[in-house]
Amino acid sequence: MRDQAVGLRKLVNKGQKSNSRVIVVASGKGGVGKTNIAVNLALALRQLDNCVALIDVDLGLANVDIVLGITPPYNLGHVFRGEKTLVEIIEDGPLGIKLLAGGSGMSELANLTGWRLEQFVKSLDELNREFDFVVLDTGTGIGQNVLSFALATDEVLVVTTPEPTAITDAYGLIKVVFQRNPQAQIRLIVNMARNPGEAEAVAEKLNSVLREYVQREVEYIGYLLDEQQVNRAVGQQVPFLLSYPSSMASRSIKRIANILAGEVPQDAAVGIKGFFSRVYQFFQV
Ligand SMILES: Nc1ncnc2c1ncn2[C@@H]1O[C@H](COP(=O)(O)OP(=O)(O)OP(=O)(O)O)[C@@H](O)[C@H]1O
Ligand SMILES: [Mg+2]
């Protein structure tokens, strides 16, 4: 714990940084590969020398634990109840990424008031200075919670597979996000494709429907093929980027991380504080 606090202070003293880029990984349909993509993307961004935090905000099953084999003992619920500070619940992940579990505690954010809320906001400021990227792995569907997280940032990464129901559900999610947050920059990853052409066709199909009915488009930033090594990595609880660095999945995720890191962040990235303040508002109603 002390090491983490020292590390945080050192980083904070490094100087003023712009807001962290908060990237929410979401999907319409479940089981399309969000968690694998979130975890490996966080690692790939770290390999590009960014400071990265990975937050598992799934209110149901603990996803990131499954892929990484790390079970953080505390989650944001402990912070919201005043039992732990934010810095105390941060766990070290591979390559120096930081892990934060939302767990069922996420919904308790709404109960935060007074000095406890002030404390929390203060610690978010510190995190905001420390991290270049915050990657959030969400649960499934356009249930209120997932939608709240997707609407709480301006950078949403939607994952779909070529399966028709997954595409339809992705469309549903994208449409709602664009309608409720016209500023949103939505990027698309097609996972478990049989070949690059199939992935591209999925992106084109989705965009043609979006152009017609929503007058918007998503930015297609890459695909991952259906690959045995991804499954094997999950079985071993070691992210594929680390266990199979030369797999096609690893090469794809590195390409995607390069694109993301290379894109000039929006002038006013919402930052960690902006993200939580929007979530807070959504949970109030
Ligand atoms: N590119 C891929 N090739 C082969 N299998 C994959 C690929 N991506 C994901 N999988 C498999 O699909 C399953 C679901 O992946 P993952 O847990 O990442 O999905 P998810 O969207 O997070 O699911 P949930 O909605 O339940 O949170 C895992 O068993 C994983 O091994
Ligand atoms: Mg998941």
Alpha carbon of 195 to ligand 1 centroid (Å) = 17
Task: Report the nearest-CA residue for atom 12 of ligand 1.
Answer: 33
Is the C-beta atom of 261 inside 6 A of ligand 1? no
pLDDT at 6: 47
Mean pLDDT of 218-234: 97
Q: Is the pLDDT of residue 82 over 70?
A: yes
pLDDT at 59: 60
Tokens 């003992």 belong to residue: 73
Structure tokens at 156: 């949403």
Query: What is d(CA 79, CA 127) in angstroms, rounded to the nearest whole number?
Result: 14
Mean pLDDT of 66-79: 85
Query: What is d(CA 265, CA 114) in angstroms, rounded to the nearest whole number?
Result: 33
> Which of 17-31, 218-232, 242-256 has the lowest average pLDDT?
17-31
Is the C-beta atom of 123 inside 6 A of ligand 1? no
pLDDT at 71: 81
Query: What is d(CA 266, CA 154) in angstroms, rounded to the nearest whole number?
Result: 9
β-strand pairing of 52-56 with 185-193: unpaired
Q: What is the four-CA torsion angle of 190, 191, 194, 197, rounded to 10 degrees?
A: 20
Q: Which of 27, 35, 149, 163 to mutate to test the pocket of ligand 1 (most atoms within 8 A of CB)?
A: 35
Burial 115-125 (b: 16+ CB within 10 A, else e): eeeeebeebbe
Q: How many CB atoms lie within 10 A of CB 82?
A: 12
Residue 275 confidence class, pLDDT cut points 50, 70, 90: confident
Mean pLDDT of 83-111: 85
Query: What is d(CA 157, CA 106) in angstroms, rounded to the nearest whole number?
Result: 20
Is the C-beta atom of 33 inside 6 A of ligand 1? yes
Range 2-284 classified under CATH 3.30.70.1050:
no
Hey, where are the domains in the chain?
A: 2-284
pLDDT at 79: 86
Residues ≥6 apart with Cβ < 8 Å to 42: 52, 53, 54, 93, 97, 133, 135
Query: What is d(CA 78, CA 171) in angstroms, rounded to the nearest whole number?
Result: 35
Mean pLDDT of 126-146: 82
Q: Find the helix packing angle between 114-130 and 2-13, rounded to 10°.
A: 70
* 3-state helix, strand and coil shares in percent for the chain, rounded to the nearest 5: 55, 15, 30
**HSE (CB half, 13 Å, CA atoms) of 193?**
21
Mean pLDDT of 189-213: 98
Tokens 């309608």 belong to residue: 179
Is the C-beta atom of 169 inside 6 A of ligand 1? no
Q: Is the pLDDT of residue 2 over 70?
A: no
For the chain, the average pLDDT equals 87
Query: What is d(CA 208, CA 141) in angstroms, rounded to the nearest whole number?
Result: 22
Tokens 């990131």 belong to residue: 64
